[in-house]
Amino acid sequence: MKLYIINGPNLNMLGIREPDKYGKTGYAELTELIRAHCCERGITPIFFQSNHEGDLVDKIQEAYFEGADGIVINPGAYTHTSIAILDAVLSTSLPTVEVHISKVEEREDFRQTSYIRRACVKTVTGHGTAGYLEAIDYLSEMLSRNEN
């Protein structure tokens, strides 16, 4: 099973940026946690982080062309603005889980819109970096169920 783990703008600043909201785990540490989690489950994670909207669109399309089984994505602030990222996920028809480290529903009004949500099979918010592992487990269970 191959999953794309895509992170949007400023998530490379994890551990440095607003640790009260996003915790102390850095991006490199996060990818290692995910890698270990996936390794135990026979999942191949493909990591990507970008601060640029079009690069995120390109990577979502690549997931389709490279035959990924699913996508875990934290689009960062593009969650609240990007129809292009929504359309990219819809184009692939790949099962996609939206992850937010913070509990976005309890934050500012401008964070209450998620364009990507309607294209996702699940949303995880407010569970810190563990939310990514939850998303992976959800996809892995869903995909194994579909195989049977």
Name the residue with tokens 């390794």: 39
Binding status of residue 50 toward ligand DQA by CB under 6 A? no
Residue 99: burial class (beta carbons within 10 Å; 0-12, 13-18, 19+): buried
Q: Does 96 bind ligand DQA (CB under 6 A)?
A: no
Based on the shown chain and the rule CB under 6 A, indicate whether residue 142 belongs to the binding site for ligand DQA: no
Residue 7 within binding range of ligand DQA, rule CB under 6 A: no
- Could you say whether residue 127 binds ligand DQA (CB under 6 A)? no
Closest CA to 140 of 114, 122, 128, 118: 122
DSSP 8-state class, residue 106: G
Structure tokens at 59: 């990577």
80 as an active site residue: the answer is no
Rounded to a whole number of angstroms, the minimum distance from the CB of residue 129 to ligand DQA is: 9
Question: Which of 6, 101, 133, 136 touches ligand DQA by CB under 6 A?
Answer: 101
Give the span between the Cα atoms of 72 and 75, in whole angstroms. Answer: 10
User: Which one, 59 or 100, has the nearer CB to ligand DQA?
Assistant: 100
Footprint on this chain of ligand DQA (rule: CB under 6 A): 10, 74, 76-77, 79, 100-102, 104, 111
